[in-house]
Amino acid sequence: MKRIHLLLVAAAIAAAATVSTVSTVSAQTTVGTQAVPAAETAAAVGRPAEAPWSLNDCIDYAIENNINVRQRTLQVERSEVSLSTARFSRLPSVSASISGNASFGRALTSDNTYRNNNQTSGSFGVSGSLPIFQGLRINREIEGGKLDLAAAVQDLRRAREDVAVNVMTLYLQVLFNRELVDVAERQAALSEQQVERSRALVEAGKQPESARYESEALAANDRLSLAQARNNLQLALLGLSQALNRESAAGFDVVIPAFDALSLEALSRLGTIEEIYATAADERPHLRAEQLRLRSSENNVRIARSALYPTISASGGYGTSIYDGDPDSFWSQFRNKSSEYVGVSMNIPIFNRRATRNNIRTAQIAVRNQQLALTAAEQSLRKEIEQAWYNADAARVKYHAAEAALASARTAFEYAEQKAEAGRSTLYDFNDAKTRMERAESDLVQAKYEFVFRAKILDYYRGEPLRL
């Protein structure tokens, strides 16, 4: 798993939370309106509404339509073809030839004399060869083909997992923005209540006329914040839809999973770094692919060494010829002028300008290079797991702290609301308490989804399926 995947959702969530918080501090949201549902968006462009997509639906669809996954699938097929070619190289090769000639003037006849006449002739032949011993090259090429195919399969697994992690990141971003819309709507309802409360207090003479105008101005600014939150949600849905390679995002929506206290508490059991690394070292496809490539490069050394041994092959053939000037019939010539041969040949390498030795050295260098690549992959995996674990632990602490902060902010807002209803507080005091509560709600939403993402990344390293 690349480190950029670990940073993507944190950066996106932090950016969205910052926008929401800044806009909230400056202005609160509007009266109890609802976020624009996907069905209304679909109807606006003339498309039927779709059933909401679950995370599994999104992952399956993305894997099926992702270009990189398709390319890796073709690489697997190419490796299968290469393995098939290596296996069939044990079989004999057979070929046939047929030719016809026409000569004018002095031509060679069947009795090996030249005559001044026009003549046509033809020949037919079948030949074959069979490898008997090739310095064990064929067996080693088959073994190398198996290793390359296994590595290609692991590369395909990694491509699918990368797609799954990317889709989960965007899916959580949609859920995060949807909850921010809910937060904005709840705060909008409070702003509208304050507008009505200010009007009543002004009419009762308990507040000056300016208080009503201030509350209405804040409510107007809140409508802008709510519109921005809705737009962020639509952009998040668009980003997820585009990642799935859908034709259009119209009518697209996702299933909202329930993150209750039990599920979040289950995510809090992070395990230890050593346990996660021990599992990941056996399960991570990119690490297994590097291990298979190391074995393949070692096998390539043995393939290069096979050129030091002699090769033995058997061959055989049949041929015949036909002349139009011959008095015998066609079939008589075909039988009488035929010939057959069989033979065994051995090719002993003596000196080829050190080409074989240099090929062996090149293969050995490739082995050392692949050993370094495997070591780098293991070290990178270790670093990624350590960073993921500490990030998950910090996200867990942040989430529990955000819960406590929201509880305190809600208590403070309840007192501020009671004072506002009694006309014993200013609009500034009420709006300040409401702003702090909204900021606490936004922080909790951000902390929750960051914690879920970090915990799911650890599940990814354990080899567990990505589910919400």
pLDDT (0 to 100) of residue 276: 92
What pLDDT, on the 0 to 100 scale, is given for residue 76? Answer: 97
Over residues 447-452, mean pLDDT? 92
The pLDDT value recorded for residue 323 is 81
Mutual orientation of helices 273-283 and 427-462 as an angle, nearest 10°?
Answer: 50
In the predicted structure, residue 2 carries a pLDDT above the cut 60: no
Contact 466, 5 (CB under 8 A): no
How many residues comprise the chain?
468
Q: Per-residue pLDDT for 152 more than 90?
A: yes
Q: Number of structural domains, the chain?
A: 1
Residue 468 lies inside a defined structural domain of this protein: no
Q: Is the pLDDT of residue 307 over 90?
A: yes
Scanning the structure block, which residue is given the tokens 């690349």? 2
- Provide the residue range defining the domain that includes 383: 3-462
DSSP-based three-state secondary structure for 455: helix
Integer Cα distance of 70 and 63 in angstroms:
8
Q: pLDDT per residue over 49-60, tens digit each?
A: 578 999 999 999
In this predicted structure, the answer to whether residue 224 has a pLDDT above a threshold of 80 is yes
Over residues 254-275, mean pLDDT: 79
pLDDT, tens digit (0-9, with 9 covering 90-100), for 367-423: 999 999 999 999 999 999 999 999 999 999 999 999 999 999 999 988 888 887 777
Q: Which two tokens stand for residue 144?
A: 């190398």
Within a domain: 396: yes
The residue type of 289 is A
- pTM metric for this prediction: 0.78
**Distance from the Cα of residue 17 to its chain's centroid:** 27
Q: Check if the beta carbon of residue 464 is closer than 8 Å to that of residue 283.
A: no
Per the domain annotation, does 435 fall within a domain?
A: yes
Q: Which of 137-146, 201-210, 235-244, 327-336 has the lowest mean pLDDT?
A: 201-210
Query: Within a domain: residue 467?
Result: no
Q: How confident is the model at residue 110 (pLDDT cuts 50, 70, 90)?
A: low
Residues 158 and 84: their CA atoms lie apart, in Å, by 24
Whether 64 maps to a domain, the answer reads: yes
Quote the pLDDT of residue 375.
96
Within-domain flag for 378 = yes
pLDDT, residue 299, reads 97
- Angle, helix 3-26 to helix 137-203, in steps of 10 degrees: 10
Q: Are 8 and 1 in contact (CB under 8 A)?
A: no
Residue 404: CATH number of its domain: 1.20.1600.10
pLDDT tens digits, one per residue of 329-349? 888 888 888 899 999 999 999
117, 164, 359, 408, 434 from 402: Cα distances, Å:
108, 29, 63, 10, 16
**Distance in angstroms between the alpha carbons of the first and the last residue of the chain:** 19
Looking at residue 346, its pLDDT comes to 94
Model confidence over 424-440: pLDDT tens digits? 777 778 788 888 888 89
Q: How confident is the model at residue 100 (pLDDT cuts 50, 70, 90)?
A: confident
The answer to whether residue 97 sits within a structural domain is yes
